[in-house]
Amino acid sequence: MSMKKYFNIDIPKRHSQCSHAQEELIPGNDMYSAIFEEGQALSREDYCSQCWTQLQKEAKVHEAVTFWKSVVPEKKEVKEIYLDRDDKALALLNQFIQSENVDEMHQAMILALYLSRRRKLYRRKEETNDEGENVIIYEVAQAQEFVSVKKVDPQTIDIPKIQKMIAANLKD
């Protein structure tokens, strides 16, 4: 019975500049990467194609453990779906905190918890308002204003129903 041994090698990440000319590697252009062994550690150097052809004549690239040719990847656009969703959630919260509808009060409570978790709201204190209702005071992170959300016992909330309602409102 033969036993296979597997091992992991952590290859350092690609640099954004040519290791020789110190110029930025342009997306879509060819590049060469070489791995060098330095004691117990591995180092990586990335080169533009012009520097690579020049360095091939020198002995340094021949000391590489391995090397390969690739194309500099295009920069990926970061989608800001959560920022849009958080802005919508904050707008919904402001709409629902004025409502006397039970479902909308429950949605306001869940949205406040969600936005607090996303660090868009900061819970400051809990108190009783003029009508004798318990409210939680939140500070809106970016606006430095305060909103009060009627406190609802989470056990009285039909979570699946409220989740669907919030999802539908955020989808619009």
Banded model confidence at residue 8, pLDDT cuts 50, 70, 90:
low
Alpha-carbon distance 45 to 37, whole Å? 11
Q: Is the pLDDT of residue 82 over 60?
A: no
One-letter identity of residue 135: V
* pLDDT, tens only, 115-146: 999 999 999 999 988 888 899 999 998 877 89
Distance CA 36, CA 135 (A): 62
Q: What pLDDT band is residue 109 in, cutting at 50, 70 and 90?
A: very high
| Model pLDDT for residues 142-171, shown as the tens digit of each residue | 877 899 999 988 888 898 999 999 989 888
Q: Domain segments of the chain: what residues?
A: 11-76, 81-171
